[in-house]
Structure 1
Amino acid sequence: MDIHISSVVVCALVLGLIWVFIVIKSEGHSKKLLPGQNHPLTRLSHHWDIFGIRIISRIVRSVMNGTILFYMDEIWDMYGDTYTSNILGNKVTFTRDAINIKQLLTSQWLDYDVAKGIRIVMFEHLVPGTIAATDGKEWEENRRKWRHYFLHLDQLFDMPFLEASFQNLVLHITKDEAIDMQPLFLDLATDLTSNFVLGESTNCIDPENQSDDKREYVAALKKANPVTAIRGLLGPVARFIPQVGYRANCAIVKGHLGNKIQKTISTRQIERESGVNPGPAQQTFLDRLLGFTDNPLTLNHNVTSLMMSNESISRPLSHTIWLLSRNSVVYEKLRKSVFDLVGYERPTYAQLTKFTYLKNIINESLRLLPPDPLTLRRANTDTWLPTGGGHDGKERLLIRRGERVVISIFGSHRNPANFGDDASEFRPERWDSLNLDAPGYLPFSMGPRVCIGRQLVLNTTTYILVRLVQTYSHLQSCDSREFVPRLRFSMSNENGVWVSMTPDLKAIQKPARSV
């Protein structure tokens, strides 16, 4: 028996939600007050509904129709920005409160684990022991190394390859015809990530030049990533589910990358022994790794960890295009701002931080549609949150050792207390008066465990969007359906990103193939 995404994803998500946050009900009986309220509540589950089956059915429906995150928004409106629920006998706290989130992820971050009981199970078959799957001293050592890996990012940022990949993307876009950009952006991001890590493309966006081994690797990665995410939702339950196909896909991914790593090591050794100097070359992430270790297992785990992050690049691109296609005024204003700065010239690396209005748009896209909408922590000691306790929700809230806290990034980003009454609207201009440390804004998390590759994501997203704006004079949505969140390794749109584009004739050039 095996896990097949098409047949069990809903069940897996529901089981995972049960483990993490599905049985939402008030603490105790009606005489008690839920944090954040000043009057008795109507219980979400009746006294006879011991396991919260009634609520489970609601959650199942919201998972199946893609409204789970919006359903959680309704819960915030009913019970406040921080509330505690009894989940199959375990206390779990949910928060979208900016003050609580900041303390939890910054000043008291050491009171919580990320890996134990959460990510260890999630990553044990692909990248055990890497930065995302460790806590404590082991994490500190990983973090120290990863800071060095990402020093002088400009030396790792391959602008010629980025442009060639963009031109390959353009080949798939036909004038004024509907196209789903979401899978194209994922293919593009997979190529870019591979080149950043290994110095060679997977040729996803250029399939005519894709070898059989790369095709097999990409297929295995696309199958392994969502199941890895489901394992994170299931927690320890995942270990009781047969996953022969998943483990086979993990083996293909690690085997392919292991061969690439060994080939690089062998080439370096031959060059050293022969005294051959190959001359200057584009530095890769693997080059940085080899400066610290030549242990094949450590190299494989770290390389695989970064290769799995392709969605971190593709999702901001997809979400931003989805929003822009529905806001022609914003798109026109963006085009003007881009042409005022660089015209039709390709932006340089130094210019990527100069596109102020585009930066506002990306910030707003990450706010409304964060690629990672939820994150989870488990207390490793008795600790507390500043608010959420007491009858009015304004007192401290006790978090005991072993209890979990679910942080809703999606909820925080749409919280009127953080971003005003128009928090659910796409308005890039709000960032004229906000900065990246705005309360409640954490698309890349915050504190010591903030995403270390965030600048790589932002630079890549900026370059591709600038080139799209230069190349296409009009961008229009071809789908009137709303954004339906699909939660796997990251958040995507169940309906895709269907748009049409009209080329700017002045920008048309002969496309370049992958390098």
Structure 2
Amino acid sequence: MFGVTGIATLSLLLVIVFRILLSILRYVRYELMRRALGCQRIRAYRGWDLVYGLDFVYANVKALKSNRFLEFQKQTYRTKVWSANFLGNRMIYSSQAENMKAISVTHKECFGIEPIRVANGAITPFTGRGVSSSDGMKWQESRDLIKPYFDRAAFTNIGRLAAHTNRLISKIPKDGSAVDMQPLCQRWFLDTSTEFLFGESARSLDSPERDRPHRDMVKIMEGLRLRLQLSSFLFLHRDQEWLEACNRIHRYLDGHIHKAYQQLDELKLGKPALYANGQPRSDFLWTIAGKIPDPLELRTQLTGVWIPSNETTSIFVSNTLFALARHPNVVKKLRQEILRYGDQPLTFTGLRSLTYLRWVLNESHRLYPVSLQTVRACVKDGTLPTGGGPDGNAPVLCTKGDIVHCNRYLMHRDPDVWGDDSENFVPERWETARPMWNFVPFGGGPRICPAQAMVDTECSYVIFRLLREFKGIEARDSEPYTPVMRVGPSNKHGCKIAFAVT
């Protein structure tokens, strides 16, 4: 009775009717629970598509493609807690510190990341259930495995940065001409991080063509962002270039893994595992390889660490230089502090003693957080402490399946917390600022980034070395900061500056 077209049309109508009925049932259940728990409603994004929220999806994609994503979020967040339908999923967006604390610590048992990253296969072509993609016991095992390597002994060893930073400085023009520090910082970080993680530097500062792992990781991170957003519609998407980038990184890591296992076998025969300079191996891969006999599981742990750390320090350094180049008085004050340190050997303790440098880095973290937001899936019904009701102070109901986005970019620029100059680069504010959960550049609670001290130390070291080497930094680009979303916001126009020779 029905042709193929008729059957397809009927099937589509049945799917739509099912989604509408399901939405009605969810709404009724939500209202009953909300009233029982004493929660209040929050504002909702109202568009024409009440089933899948395609209008809101389109607005997000358009903002990302035009590099206006942060501006879009700021304009859309007319209140500090609100909700929207994104491809049929209820999203709760918050810029309230108490809600960040809730999903990280006080109500953490209600929230997880595995449903977002693993359940629909969004990240599994690249990595498995590791520290950045799992919950529960699996996450605890991965965390316990990697955390000892990010202890004080690791991040206080600033000597490992010296040779790479010397090469970075050698690439900077000494005649006052402009240089784009963003790609140089990317290559510097690739060199330092590959040596730290795998015991062998990519040495891309010596040969730019060696930065293929960096370019592949950028491609992978861009693809992961899209795949995570597609959620249950991921089956409609296929990106062959992304899969090829994943395969190249896998082969790159497999080479390092094979070498580590080979050296472990030789170690059993009495042959020590040494670097080319004769020093015993002590890198991250070597530390965990002996504990993980399965090469695929070992690769999962490596990719799980590389995902959140990729570009983190390079973005932080280049964003800090971008801000300094536009604030000569800050540069002058910071350089005076650095020069007072004198010619004594640079140590971790010495870096930590530089108060104004610490203020500068905090202010850079505040304005340009390397991780834009903390995202968690609600794994069982629960509440957020604030955001509901007309005054925004009542608790908010979260039901299983909701996705909570806590936006640190907006939290860090909230004038109610930071004052009327919240959009300005003012390191002096840190003389008195005690923001607690309003300032969480690395997250908080048990899942706080284990490498936070390392990131700050590496950036401190580079800024110190640059301002001891050069007497000033000048902006050579009048373009405003235009964020491109990768791990965090990096400037579309790079970091074009000039250094004044001492």
Q: Same fold (TM over 0.5)?
A: yes
Equivalent in the alignment of 1:68: 69
Equivalent in the alignment of 1:233: 229
Partners in 1 of 2:327 and 2:479 — Cα distance? Answer: 15
Cα deviation, residue 197, structure 1: 1.0
Secondary structure, counterpart of 1:106 in structure 2: helix
Sort the Cα spacing of 1:52 and 1:127 in 2 relative to 1 into closer, same or farther, 3 A. Answer: closer
Equivalent in the alignment of 2:336: 336
> Which amino acid in 2 is paired with 1:347?
L
Equivalent in the alignment of 1:306: 305
Partners in 2 of 1:50 and 1:123 — Cα distance? Answer: 26
Sort the Cα spacing of 1:403 and 1:277 in 2 relative to 1 into closer, same or farther, 3 A. Answer: closer
> Which amino acid in 1 is paired with 2:239?
Q
| Contact 2:48–2:55 (8 Å) recurs in 1 | no
Equivalent in the alignment of 1:84: 83
Partners in 2 of 1:465 and 1:254 — Cα distance? Answer: 33
1:288-325 CA distance string (max 9 Å, x none) = 21342232122222223334423111111011001000
1:109-164 CA distance string (max 9 Å, x none) = 1110112133554421222111001012211221222222323433x765444111
Partners in 2 of 1:72 and 1:217 — Cα distance? Answer: 31
1:33-86 CA distance string (max 9 Å, x none) = x9678xxxxx9657699876766665555334322212222233x3x2111234
Partners in 1 of 2:118 and 2:468 — Cα distance? Answer: 41
Cα deviation, residue 353, structure 1: 1.7
Secondary structure, counterpart of 1:439 in structure 2: helix
Cα deviation, residue 449, structure 1: 0.8
Partners in 1 of 2:235 and 2:47 — Cα distance? Answer: 32
> Which amino acid in 2 is paired with 1:332?
K
The one of 246, 263, 266 equivalent to 1:270 is: 266
Secondary structure, counterpart of 2:219 in structure 1: helix
Sort the Cα spacing of 1:275 and 1:235 in 2 relative to 1 into closer, same or farther, 3 A. Answer: same
Partners in 1 of 2:412 and 2:421 — Cα distance? Answer: 11
Matched, 1:373 2:344: no
Equivalent in the alignment of 2:177: 177
Partners in 2 of 1:229 and 1:446 — Cα distance? Answer: 22
Secondary structure, counterpart of 1:424 in structure 2: coil
Secondary structure, counterpart of 1:173 in structure 2: coil
| Contact 1:83–1:94 (8 Å) recurs in 2 | yes
| Contact 1:473–1:503 (8 Å) recurs in 2 | yes
Sort the Cα spacing of 1:232 and 1:57 in 2 relative to 1 into closer, same or farther, 3 A. Answer: closer
Equivalent in the alignment of 2:449: 451
More moved, 135-144 vs 158-167: 158-167
Secondary structure, counterpart of 1:62 in structure 2: helix
| Contact 2:380–2:399 (8 Å) recurs in 1 | yes
Cα deviation, residue 250, structure 1: 1.2
| Contact 1:193–1:307 (8 Å) recurs in 2 | no
| Contact 1:119–1:132 (8 Å) recurs in 2 | no
Cα deviation, residue 245, structure 1: 2.4
Equivalent in the alignment of 2:206: 206
Partners in 2 of 1:144 and 1:217 — Cα distance? Answer: 27
Secondary structure, counterpart of 2:132 in structure 1: helix
The one of 435, 438, 441 equivalent to 2:439 is: 441
Equivalent in the alignment of 2:291: 292
Q: For this pair of structures, how many residues does the alignment match?
A: 459
| Contact 1:382–1:400 (8 Å) recurs in 2 | yes
| Contact 1:100–1:385 (8 Å) recurs in 2 | yes
Sort the Cα spacing of 1:398 and 1:52 in 2 relative to 1 into closer, same or farther, 3 A. Answer: closer
Secondary structure, counterpart of 1:133 in structure 2: coil
Cα deviation, residue 272, structure 1: 3.0
Partners in 1 of 2:177 and 2:313 — Cα distance? Answer: 25
Matched, 1:224 2:220: yes
TM-score, normalised relative to structure 1 = 0.82
Cα deviation, residue 233, structure 1: 2.9
Partners in 2 of 1:89 and 1:236 — Cα distance? Answer: 9
Cα deviation, residue 408, structure 1: 0.7
Cα deviation, residue 183, structure 1: 1.2
Equivalent in the alignment of 2:143: 143
> Which amino acid in 1 is paired with 2:225?
A
Equivalent in the alignment of 1:430: 429
Equivalent in the alignment of 1:168: 167
Cα deviation, residue 219, structure 1: 4.2
Secondary structure, counterpart of 1:203 in structure 2: coil
Partners in 1 of 2:459 and 2:361 — Cα distance? Answer: 8
Equivalent in the alignment of 2:361: 362
> Which amino acid in 1 is paired with 2:462?
I
Sort the Cα spacing of 1:91 and 1:476 in 2 relative to 1 into closer, same or farther, 3 A. Answer: same
Cα deviation, residue 229, structure 1: 2.9
Please show how residues 493-512 of structure 1 align to structure 2 within 5 Å: 493-504=491-502
Partners in 2 of 1:55 and 1:270 — Cα distance? Answer: 57
Secondary structure, counterpart of 2:340 in structure 1: helix
Partners in 2 of 1:276 and 1:86 — Cα distance? Answer: 58
| Contact 2:179–2:498 (8 Å) recurs in 1 | yes
> Which amino acid in 2 is paired with 1:147?
K
Percent identity of paired positions between Structure 1 and Structure 2? 25
Secondary structure, counterpart of 1:242 in structure 2: coil
Sort the Cα spacing of 1:277 and 1:320 in 2 relative to 1 into closer, same or farther, 3 A. Answer: closer
Equivalent in the alignment of 2:187: 187
| Contact 1:116–1:135 (8 Å) recurs in 2 | no
| Contact 2:56–2:85 (8 Å) recurs in 1 | no
> Which amino acid in 1 is paired with 2:500?
T
> Which amino acid in 2 is paired with 1:321?
L
Matched, 1:326 2:323: no
> Which amino acid in 2 is paired with 1:142?
S
Partners in 2 of 1:218 and 1:444 — Cα distance? Answer: 22
Partners in 1 of 2:84 and 2:63 — Cα distance? Answer: 19
Partners in 1 of 2:116 and 2:102 — Cα distance? Answer: 22
Partners in 2 of 1:167 and 1:272 — Cα distance? Answer: 37
| Contact 1:334–1:357 (8 Å) recurs in 2 | yes
Secondary structure, counterpart of 1:459 in structure 2: helix
Secondary structure, counterpart of 2:93 in structure 1: strand
More moved, 197-206 vs 221-230: 221-230
| Contact 1:226–1:488 (8 Å) recurs in 2 | yes
Cα deviation, residue 443, structure 1: 0.7
Tell me how large the CA RMSD over aligned residues is: 2.7
Secondary structure, counterpart of 1:132 in structure 2: coil
Please show how residues 12-161 of structure 1 align to structure 2 within 5 Å: 45=46, 59=60, 61-76=62-77, 78=78, 80-118=79-117, 121-154=121-154, 159-161=158-160
Partners in 2 of 1:267 and 1:49 — Cα distance? Answer: 58
Cα deviation, residue 346, structure 1: 4.8
Equivalent in the alignment of 1:16: none
> Which amino acid in 1 is paired with 2:244?
A
Sort the Cα spacing of 1:234 and 1:195 in 2 relative to 1 into closer, same or farther, 3 A. Answer: same
Structure 1 unaligned blocks of 5 or more: 1-26, 29-33, 38-42, 505-515
Sort the Cα spacing of 1:228 and 1:55 in 2 relative to 1 into closer, same or farther, 3 A. Answer: closer
Sort the Cα spacing of 1:336 and 1:119 in 2 relative to 1 into closer, same or farther, 3 A. Answer: farther
> Which amino acid in 1 is paired with 2:472?
H
Sort the Cα spacing of 1:148 and 1:44 in 2 relative to 1 into closer, same or farther, 3 A. Answer: closer
Sort the Cα spacing of 1:396 and 1:188 in 2 relative to 1 into closer, same or farther, 3 A. Answer: same
Equivalent in the alignment of 1:21: none
